[in-house]
Amino acid sequence: MSGARKPLAALLVAGALSPALAGCAAGTASAPAGTSAATGTSATPALSGTVTVFAAASLKATFTKLASDFEAKNPSTKVTLNSAGSSDLVTQITQGAPADVFASADTKNMAKLTYAKLIDGQPANFATNVLEIAVPPSNPASIRSFADLAKPGVKVVTCAPQVPCGAATDKVEKATGTTLKAVSEESSVTDVLGKVTSGEADAGLVYVTDVKTAGDKVKGIAFPESDQAVNTYPIAAVGTSKNKELAAAFIATVTGSQGKKVLTDAGFGTP
């Protein structure tokens, strides 16, 4: 195992350089300062092959972007992305799905894989996410705060406590002593957002990143009580991976500055 660590260190360096390299490849004019120093492309060990990344559904947009950046930087590689609910992905991996990297939307699902001894090394926390109130653009129920959600007649849709966003909702409710009478407890963020964008619900509780992804179809209302439930996203290489080198390189991209930039742009916080 320790033998594999050395190239990993080298890769982390390469990963740190990745924004610059990606910038070159894309030919963008607005290159960040200091890119001129990054000329040693030939120093990067040639990576090749396919890396299969299992990422939580909420990471789909950011990871798609990161994957294409990664492929541009390493032309002989291919990133296959599989996004679904974290627990679905855990089930798939335990059933033997060929994953190289797993990025979970919560530590609980990562812990399941760690417990099953399917994780290589220590998972790295690379992003955080907090809840935000999503309302239709017209905000028909005039929601301004978390407390407004508990007002009678307001149709609130939340995630069911069994799924991460619902667990977070539960935490906030307990911490603030507010009880929400949800008209529906959905099993995924997508379903919650669907109810809000279609105007069926007056408000939904989803992650801030989900609000961002939804664009102008919903309006996000941040609330301070969301601090009570900060969701942490860990990433790790899967133990059964056949291409650990590539897996490590991809993780480095996610945890590196390039990853941070893309994630922050999408609304994620830093752990």
Binding site for another protein (CB under 8 A): 85, 87, 91, 155, 157, 160, 162-163, 182-187, 191, 194-195, 198-201
Q: Can you tell me the distance from the alpha carbon of 206 to that of 74, in angstroms, rounded to the nearest whole number?
A: 35
Closest separation between CB of residue 73 and another protein, Å? 36
Dist CA 54 CA 250 (whole Å): 12
Return the closest-CA partner of residue 160 out of 177, 126, 184. Answer: 184
Closest CB 195 distance from another protein, rounded Å: 6
Q: Which is nearer to another protein, 62 or 109 (CB)?
A: 109
Q: What tokens were used for 22?
A: 């990606």
Do residues 148 and 120 touch, judged by C-beta distance below 8 A?
Answer: no
**Residue spans of alpha helices (H) in 46-148:** 60-73, 86-94, 107-115
Nearer to another protein, 10 or 183 (CB): 183
CB of 90 to another protein, least distance (A): 10
Helices (H) and strands (E) in the chain, counts: 9, 10
- Name the residue nearer to another protein (CB basis): 183 or 230: 183
The one-letter amino acid code at 50 reads: T
Least gap, CB of 139 to another protein (angstroms):
14
Q: Between 91 and 176, whose beta carbon lies closer to another protein?
A: 91
Q: How far is the CB of 167 from another protein (least distance, A)?
A: 9
Q: Which is nearer to another protein, 74 or 109 (CB)?
A: 109
